Structure 1
Amino acid sequence: WHSFAEQWQFYWQLMSDRLDLMHFTYFSYPILYKKPYIATVHDITSLLFKTGKASTKNPIIYWIKHKVFCYVLKSQIYNSEHVITPTIAVKDQILSIYKNIKNEEITSIYEGINQELLFCKTDAKQQDNPLFQGKFMIYVGNFYPHKNVENLIRAFSIVKTQVKLLLIGPHDHFSNRILNLIKAKNQEDRIKLFDNATIQDLTFAYKNAVALIHPSHSEGFGLPIVEAMHFDLPIIASNIPVFQELMENQNISFDPNNINEMAEKISEFIKQDKQKIKYNNMIRFSFLEMAKKTLVIYKKILYIN
C-alpha cells in the first residue's frame, strides 16, 4: 500500500512466480492478488491510535495514506486463507473489529528471542560507558507516540531517586521530541537517551539494569518485555492485555494514562529494592516452535486447496 507502483510491480512478481501459497508477513500486499495466501498481522496499533503525531508527513497526506492502509489491511484479512497473530491479544482485537472473520481462521503464535542477544558477550566498553555507571532503569524501543515515552518522562521526573532512566532507541524525528521534553523538565542529568546502542550494549543493559519500564498504549507482541524476561529483569509495565498475557501477571503494572500512578509504581519498586525474577513458562517464546506451528498451517491450507 506504500505506493501504486509497489502494488502493481509486487503483484506481477507474485503472478510470475506462480506460487501455491504465499505468506505475507507484512500488511503491504497487492490487493489484486487472489491466489491462496496467509497473512501475519503483527498488530493493529495504527487503527487504534490514529494520530498525525505518529507521522512526519503532511496531515492531508497522512489522512489519505491512513485510509488506504485501513482498506488494504481489511482486504488482506478478509481475503486470506488464514491469519497469524503474535499474541492472543491481537487476535481478540481483530475479531472485535472485523466481524466477518471466524475465530478458527486466526491462530496466535508467539515469537522468539534474537539468538544473537541470547549468546552475546559484553566487554570493557560497556563497563566503562558513563551511561551504565550507577543504578539505572531502562526503556527499550522506538519513540512513536503510542509508546507513551513522553508520559514516562513526566512520571519519572516526579520520582525522588538516585536511579537513572536510560532510554535505548533510535535517533530520529521522534527521539528529538523526547530530548526536548527531557530538557523542558530539567531532567538531563537523570534521564539519558542512548541512541547508538550495539547488541553488546543492549545485553549489558538487560543484565545490569534495576528494571525495564514499558509504558506503551498498544503493542502486538512486546519484544523488549520477552527479552527482559529472559534476563530475569524485573518489569514495570502498562496494564494492557498483551503485556498481561506475556508476563502472566508476574510484573508491576500501571494505567498508561495515569502519570501519578506510573510514578508511584516506580517509586514503590525502588523502595522495595527487588532483585532478579525467575519468570515462568519462558519455553513459549521460541522461533523453532513458531516455525513448526506455522508449517502446520501451511500444510493444512495446501491440503485444502
Structure 2
Amino acid sequence: MKKICIDARLYGIRHTGIGRYVQNLITNLPDPSSVTLIISPENAALPELKQFSKYTARYHPYTYLSQFEMLWLLLKIRPALLHVPHFTVPFLWPGKIVVTIHDLIKHLSKGPATTTRSPAVYWLKYLQYLFIVWFTVRRAAHIIVPANFWKYELIKRFKIPAVKISVTYEGVSPLFLSGSSSAVDIPDYRPYILHVGNVYPHKNIPLLLDAVKELNGEVLAILVCARSVFTQKIQALIDEKYLNKWVKFFGSVSDSQLHYLYQNSLALVFPSLIEGFGLPGLEAMAAGTPVIAARASVLPEIYQDAALYFDPKSASDLAQKIGILISDSALRSKLIAKGKKQVKKYSWSDMSQKTWAIYRKELR
C-alpha cells in the first residue's frame, strides 16, 4: 500500500477529545507498516508507537511556525496521503489530504462571552478561524466527521457534495465497560447527578443550576471538569444562587475514578446546546448509568431512545426529568438496559477500520 502519513501531534488524552480520537485511531490501524506518524517530542518513545515510522515536530498544530515545519517534514516523507485529524491543514503542502472536522461549535456558539480574550483579539482570532475552516474544507480530498449532524452542517454552510464527507462514529474506552473502578470520596449522602466536561457557555450549565435549585436539595450535582476562568464564573453563579450545599466541583479525575462516579450516580445530565459527539453519555451508558440529555445537536442521533430527553431551554423540564428518575426505579432500569445496548454500536476499532477504508479509497 502507498505511504500514508498521519499528523499525530495531538496524540493522547492530555489533548482531550481530539487526543483520544488520534490515539484510538492509530492504535487500531490494521497495517502500521504503511503509516508514518508526525508526533510531538514527548510521545516519541511511547511503546505503543514503536511499530510506526515516526518524525518529530516541535511546534503545536495551531501555530504559524508549524506550517513551515510541516511542509519541511512532508517534503522528506513524501506521503501519497496525509490525514490531519483537526481543522488546520498544511497550507503549503500540495498533496492529497483527508481531514477530520470534529465539530463546528465555534460557528454556532460565538461572541466575547465564549472566550477569555478581549473582544478585539477574540474577533480577530474568530475571523482567522473562519478562514482556516473555509480553506480546509475546500482543500481536503475527503472530510471525516463524527456524526451526521455535522455532515449536514458542513453541506449547508459550505455547499460541499455529500460524497466528499464520511461519518465515522467514535467509541468508548473498554474501561467503562468493565467492572473495575477507583473509589472517590463523595461528601454527601444524597443521590447525585453528574456532569462531565468543560463548562463553556454552550454547555448550558446555568440551566442545570436552576434545575438543581428547583429540586430544593433532593439531589447533589457533581461537576467534573478542569479548573478554568469559566469554572470561576460558574462558581460565582453557584454563590449567587446559594447552591454551595448542593453543587460540588471535582477537578480532573482519572478514567478509573470517573468510572466510579458514573457507576454510583443517579444519572449523567447533559444539558449542552451544542456537542461534537457526546462521548460522556456513552461512557455513562457503558458504566450502567442512565443519561438525561438535552434534545439538541448530535445527542438524539448518538443516544437515540437510550436517554431521557428534556427541553434545553427549560430548567423546569430538566428538574422534572431528574425527579422522575428519583422516583421511578423501573424507568431507571429500562434506561440502563437500553444504554448498555446502545453503547455496543460504538467502537474505536470500527472507527479506525472505516477510516482505513477511506484511505484506501482515496489512494485508488
- TM-score (normalizing by structure 1): 0.92
Structure 1 residue 120 displacement after superposition: 6.7
Q: Describe how 1:1-305 pairs up with structure 2 within 5 A.
A: 2-99=62-159, 101-119=160-178, 121-123=180-182, 125-126=183-184, 129-131=185-187, 133-273=189-329, 274-276=331-333, 277-279=336-338, 280-303=341-364
Shift in Å, 1:179: 1.1
Output the amino acid matched with 1:298: Y
* Distance in 2 of aligned mates of 1:131 and 1:295: 46
Deviation at 1:204, TM superposition (A): 0.6
- Alpha-carbon distance, 1:249 to partner: 2.5
Offset at 1:180? 1.1
Give, in whole Å, the separation in 2 of the partners of 1:140 and 1:11.
Answer: 38
Deviations 1:123-146 (A, max 9, x none): 4x43xx133643111011111111
CA distance in 2, matches of 1:4, 1:196: 30
Structure 1 CA distance, aligned partners of 2:187 and 2:151? 39
Which amino acid in the other structure matches residue 275 of structure 1?
Answer: R
2:259 counterpart SS class = helix
Amino acid at match of 2:358: I
Most deviating of 173-182 and 1-10: 1-10
RMSD: 1.8
Give aligned-pair identity as a percent.
29
Q: What is the Cα deviation at residue 161 of structure 1? A: 4.2
Contact 1:255 1:261 in 2 (8 A): yes
Structure 1 pair 39/209, CA: closer, same or farther in 2 (3 Å)? same
Find the aligned partners of 1:255 and 1:281 in 2 and give their Cα distance: 22
- Distance (whole Å) between structure 1 residues aligned to residue 188 and residue 347 of structure 2: 30
Check whether the contact 1:221–1:242 (CA below 8 A) recurs between aligned residues.
yes
> 1:80, 1:131 → 2: CA distance?
50
What amino acid is the match of 1:282?
V
- Structure 1: 5+ residue runs without aligned partners? none
Deviation at 1:28, TM superposition (A): 2.0
Mapped partners of 1:152, 1:167: distance in 2: 10
1:240 CA drift (Å):
1.2
Q: Which residue identity does 1:285 align to in structure 2?
A: Y
How far residue 262 of structure 1 moved from its aligned partner, in angstroms, is 2.3
Distance 1:183 1:248 in 2: 36
TM-score (norm: length of structure 2): 0.78
Gaps of 5+ in 2: 1-60
Letter in 1 for 2:274: S
Q: Give me the whole-angstrom Cα distance separating, in 1, the residues matched to 2:268 and 2:106.
A: 25
Counterpart of 2:127, as a letter, is K
Secondary structure of the equivalent of 1:232? coil
